[in-house]
Amino acid sequence: MIQELDPVRRADVDRASRLAAERVVERARRERLEDVMVATVDSPVGTLLVAATPRGVVRVAFPEEPEEAVLEELAADLSPRVLADPRGMDAVRRQFEEYFRGRRRRFETRVDWSLAPSGFSRRVLEQTARIPYGTVSTYGEMAKRAGSPRAARAAGNALHDNPVPIVVPCHRVVPASGGVGRYGGSEWRKEWLLRLEGWLQG
């Protein structure tokens, strides 16, 4: 018969397990065996899963995306060496926290475009990354800046597939006809972010 550990021993086992995991991550970081770091960020729009490579933030996932599926995507498309590393992600997490508190208007972290589409869609995302805090642009304007003035719908599709929302602020692109338009992370999040930045009132 298997006996359950008493609470004190269970706490000791949990602590030892946590320390062992931290040592593994630290060694992987030291020996540069860590290709992708992941960590969670608690926010008013839900817990975000954020991933980064040495080149920059590569993925931001909203809670509706199953964590296991996102990790499998990272492993398949980037590298199987994906490690949970909250400490290694401290600087990135801090920027998110400052943004959500209204204390940061611009992310200073670099973007790794490895999971972004190519061609026109990539150009749309690169132009979107330049939209200043507290302002918006339209889908048509983003299509024009990306080199295809009549491709507003395609620009919308590119923004819907943005792998790094918030950092690349696709929430700042709205329809010319009014309203906030669609958003891959749900329209209520788009409205919340635009209110945080002062473009939407109320």
Q: pLDDT tens digits for 133-148?
A: 999 999 999 999 999 9
Structure tokens at 81: 């060496």
E strands, the chain, are 36-41, 48-53, 56-61, 82-84, 137-138, 173-174
Prediction pTM value: 0.82
Which one has a higher pLDDT value, 5 or 37? 37
Average pLDDT over residues 76-93: 95
Structure tokens at 99: 């943004």
Q: Determine the straight-line distance between the first and last CA of the chain, rounded to whole angstroms.
A: 61
pLDDT of residue 182: 86
What is the spatial distance between Cα 20 and Cα 29, in angstroms, rounded to a whole number? 14
Domain 116-196 classification at class level:
mainly alpha
pLDDT of residue 20: 44
Query: Domain spans of the chain?
Result: 1-30, 34-115, 116-196
CATH number of the domain at 34-115, out of 1.10.1660.10, 3.40.50.150, 3.30.160.70, 3.30.465.10? 3.30.160.70
**Exposed/middle/buried for residue 154 (C-beta within 10 Å: 0-12, 13-18, 19+):** middle
Instruction: Kindly name the residue from 37, 170, 180, 194 that is annotated as catalytic.
Output: 170
Tell me, yes or no, if 170 is annotated catalytic. Answer: yes
Average pLDDT over residues 149-175: 96
Q: Does the pLDDT at position 14 exceed 60?
A: no
**Exposed/middle/buried for residue 173 (C-beta within 10 Å: 0-12, 13-18, 19+):** buried
Same fold, 34-115 and 116-196: no
pLDDT of residue 9: 63
- pLDDT tens for each residue of 51-83: 999 999 999 999 999 999 999 999 999 999 999
What is the spatial distance between Cα 188 and Cα 194, in angstroms, rounded to a whole number? 10
If you count them, how many residues does the chain have? 202
CA-to-CA separations, 34 to 25, 53, 60, 192, in angstroms, rounded: 8, 8, 18, 34
